[in-house]
Amino acid sequence: MKNVDFTIEGDILSIRIDLSKEFGASSTGKSIVIATTEGNVQLPNREERLGLNVYRKKTAPTQQD
Number of H helices, E strands in the chain: 0, 4
d(CA 10, CA 7): 10
Prediction pTM value: 0.80
pLDDT tens digit sequence for 13-47: 999 999 999 999 998 999 999 999 999 999 999 99
Indicate whether 3 pLDDT > 90: yes
Indicate whether 60 pLDDT > 90: no
